[in-house]
Chain A
């Protein structure tokens, strides 16, 4: 340690004080500084370029973004059978710039032959575009894999002679760009429920395809990839919140049950010469629709047939889109309301004279006969219009009657998850008076007629919902076709929605017994050996344009469930304008029985005797 006191004064020469120029000149420092400066500025410039300059092909906002073609979500039945999937199709472009004019007729004819289009028209278009010096002509967007292979094989033989007389193949005369289109592997099975996706579109029309379009739709999605730390946060705007993959839907429909119901509907139309048949099968406890069949059905594979179907029927799905006067099947609603209100009991009697008068109208039974004193069960058994008109008009009265109709959900959509549901409707005592003198307002005759199912328009599904409430203990459940949805490998289940209790458990029990008893004694065509069933026929007149009713046409319906003591399946049958017989007990009841038989086999429902013994054996 040197003694500081020996250090010379500042003005004296010191070893430290040697000028740097002597050992390390200043220029060297400056060079070093410049090198570091250049390096530093280079790095900074590079950073600026990397971070602020947009990268070619990527969005300028930062982060990788690219368009990804996402196929439309799949639709399955409850067991996982595919009902709506996707298929690869190709967009075909002809590169007419590379094809000489002399070769175009051959190309056009061969392409038209494979695609099954008008050859002369295609050749004309190609020649016209060639004249305009167009590079490509888009010919089709729905070329199949087989057609593609055929066209590629044909294209190998396309040759022309160049200026020197050499045989030359046109360079890449065809291009095929793949894309996904909707495909229904089961054909037109459940087409009235599924809806469809028009060609070259990603928006569903009708049914599930339209109702759940936002979940199902594929198309082009922008996918973001972070490439810098600050872009790793999830943006919360709408685009990024949407799932990157479409959702797959599992329906409550059962493919085999639906197929059986469609077979039965077709057979019913053929046997009864009806203009249409509609069958709905549902679980009364959950509102799950197991089958919703109709005949005829829209054929989504043929646009022309589809357009003709919609023009003829003005509805895609008859069970939700075509309200009609149901007739006597509606008597179960009137009777349930009266029992629940306590204005009648099952053994309350009514003296049937064959007619029932209200101010301005007289109502008769279906056969214009009177059956004397009848209990309420007898009224249902013989389907007495007069009795149910009496119940609605005299026992319930307008306030209670319309209160129950509202509680059962008539005149309003059921809330089923299908598009284009019609609400139906009826005139009620609470309607405002007619705005114009020529309009018809509500009258007491309406109340009496509605009691037995005329002067009210309902959809088959509304009747299924009401019958389910009567069968299940009085609870109005929202019908639905979605069982669960699958997103990113996880299922999100639909929770059954119980809207309200419409009638009491006691009323429900009484109705189950009354409808089983009345069926046993009167409508034997609806019975199935070994199985107890409950239900009601309905033969309704059809209103015409002149505010009257058509003479020789009816709507034949049947609503019922089985097993009668423990309802598991509610079945609704509607035959429109049957020709072999106008009566529902003749044409609709056997269809119900046929459905019960098929359901029992498919769903492995044992006969009552076995079922009861199994129940007794269980602890």
Chain B
């Protein structure tokens, strides 16, 4: 470092107002950094609140629709119950058959129809994929500071 440079630095340091400015700058920088981080935190939190409440509303609508469907399904089942169908069939002149009234005609290469199975996909038996995010992505900054950085014991 040259003498001139040293002199300049010395002069700069010796000026009290510059010192004050520097401290102010540090303080400002600290506040700006903290505020930025907090702003981000608040931003994401509020966004999540909005999304969460939207989810909540959607879920309520889904549940209400599901309940409505269940009630309608029960009503439909009542209207098509065995007793109702039997009485309607009797009214229309149908009568029960016994095995001797049924004629089977073997058709080559045709198998007997398999019983109908409700069309519901079978669940995969492989273990469920874990949709839990790692803690590093989900822990709050505050909790990270408290529990991981300052090692405050978790409640």
A435 within 8 A of B: no
Near A by CB (< 8 A), chain B positions 29-80 give 31-32, 34-35, 38-39, 41-42, 44-46, 48-49, 51-53, 55-56, 59-60, 63, 66-67, 70-71, 73-75, 77-78
0/1 string, A214-257, CB within 8 A of B gives 1: 00000000010111111111100000000001000010000110
* Pairwise interchain contact A601-B17, C-beta atoms closer than 8 A: no
List of 6 A-B pairs having minimum Cβ-Cβ separation, nearest first:
A85-B74, A490-B123, A82-B77, A185-B77, A227-B52, A10-B11
Distance in angstroms between the alpha carbons of A234 and B133 in the assembled complex? 9
Q: Which of B42, B102, B106 contacts A47 (CB 8 A)?
A: B42
Q: Confirm or deny: B150 has a beta carbon within 8 angstroms of a beta carbon on chain A.
A: no
The proximity string for B residues 131-142 relative to A, scoring 1 for CB distances below 8 Å and 0 otherwise, is 111010111101
Number of interface residues of A (CB under 8 A): 89
Contacts A33-B27, A51-B140, A492-B123 given; indicate if A43 touches B56 (C-beta within 8 A): no
Interface string of B96-122 (1 = CB under 8 A from A): 111110101010100111011110111
A-B contact pairs, 20 of them (CB 8 A): A4-B4, A10-B14, A29-B20, A29-B24, A33-B28, A36-B32, A43-B35, A43-B38, A44-B38, A47-B45, A66-B56, A82-B77, A85-B73, A85-B74, A85-B77, A228-B48, A490-B123, A528-B99, A530-B99, A604-B112
How distant is the Cα of A354 from the Cα of B140 in the complex, in angstroms?
A: 89
CB contacts under 8 Å to B, within A63-83, are 63-64, 66, 68-71, 74, 76, 78-82
- Quick check: is B145 within 8 A (CB to CB) of the other chain? no
In contact, A259 and B38 (Cβ under 8 angstroms): no
Q: Kindly list 18 other residue pairs between chains A and B, CB separation below 8 angstroms, not including A10-B11, A44-B34, A229-B140.
A: A10-B7, A47-B38, A50-B49, A51-B41, A69-B63, A78-B115, A81-B82, A180-B70, A227-B45, A227-B51, A228-B49, A234-B131, A491-B122, A529-B100, A530-B100, A597-B98, A597-B99, A600-B102
Contact A71 B67 (CB under 8 A): yes
Given A51-B142, A250-B118, A600-B99, CB of A7 within 8 Å of CB of B7 = yes
B129 smallest CB distance to A (angstroms): 12
- Whether A225 pairs with B108 at a CB distance below 8 angstroms is no
Whole-angstrom distance between the Cβ of A471 and the nearest chain B Cβ: 20
CB pair A85 B70 closer than 8 Å: yes
Residue A607 interfacial (CB < 8 Å): yes
A606 at the interface (CB under 8 A from B): yes
B2 near A4: Cβ-Cβ < 8 Å: yes
What is the CB-to-nearest-CB distance from A84 to chain B, in angstroms, rounded to a whole number?
9
> Within the assembled complex, what's the spacing in Å between the Cα atoms of A359 and B98?
52
Question: Which of A271-279, A297-305, A391-399, A609-617 contacts the other chain?
Answer: A609-617
Q: Among B21, B35, B138, point to the contact of A229 (Cβ < 8 A).
A: B138
B34, closest chain A residue (CB): A40
Contacting residues, chain B, for A14 (C-beta < 8 A): 11
Would you call A19 an interface residue if the criterion is a C-beta within 8 Å of the partner chain's C-beta atoms?
Answer: yes
Q: Which residues of A contact B20 (CB under 8 A)?
A: 26, 29
Q: How many A-B residue pairs have CB under 8 A?
A: 212
Q: Closest approach, in angstroms, between the C-beta of A496 and any C-beta of chain B?
A: 16
What does the 1/0 interface line of A574-615 toward B look like (CB < 8 Å)? Answer: 000000000000000000000001001100101100100110
Q: How large is the interface on B (under 10, 10 to 19, 20 to 34, 35 or more residues)?
A: 35 or more
User: Contacting B17 at CB < 8 Å: which of A26, A229, A490?
Assistant: A26
Q: Which residue of B lies closest to A3 (CB)?
A: B4
Q: Does A199 contact B (CB under 8 A)?
A: no
Chain B residues closer than 8 Å to A76, beta-carbon distance: 118
B92 close to A (CB within 8 Å): no
Query: Distance in Å from the Cβ of A31 to the closest Cβ of chain B?
Result: 11
**CB < 8 Å neighbour of A185 from B45, B78, B100, B112:** B78
Residue B15 at the chain A interface, CB threshold 8 Å: yes
Contact of B120 among A16, A230, A491, A529 (CB under 8 A): A491
Residue contact B35 to A490, C-beta cutoff 8 Å: no
Asked if B52 and A226 make an inter-chain contact with CB atoms under 8 angstroms apart, the answer reads: yes
Contact B132 A29 (CB under 8 A): no
Contact assessment for A531 and B99 in the assembled complex, using a CB-CB cutoff below 8 Å: yes
Tell whether, in the assembled complex, residue B121 and residue A43 are in contact, meaning their CB atoms are under 8 Å apart: no
A467 at the interface (CB under 8 A from B): no
> Is the C-beta of B5 less than 8 angstroms from some C-beta in chain A?
yes
Q: With A7-B4, A232-B138, A259-B82 as given contacts, are A486 and B120 in contact (CB-CB < 8 Å)?
A: yes
Chain B residues, CB < 8 A from A606: 104, 112
A547 within 8 A of B: no
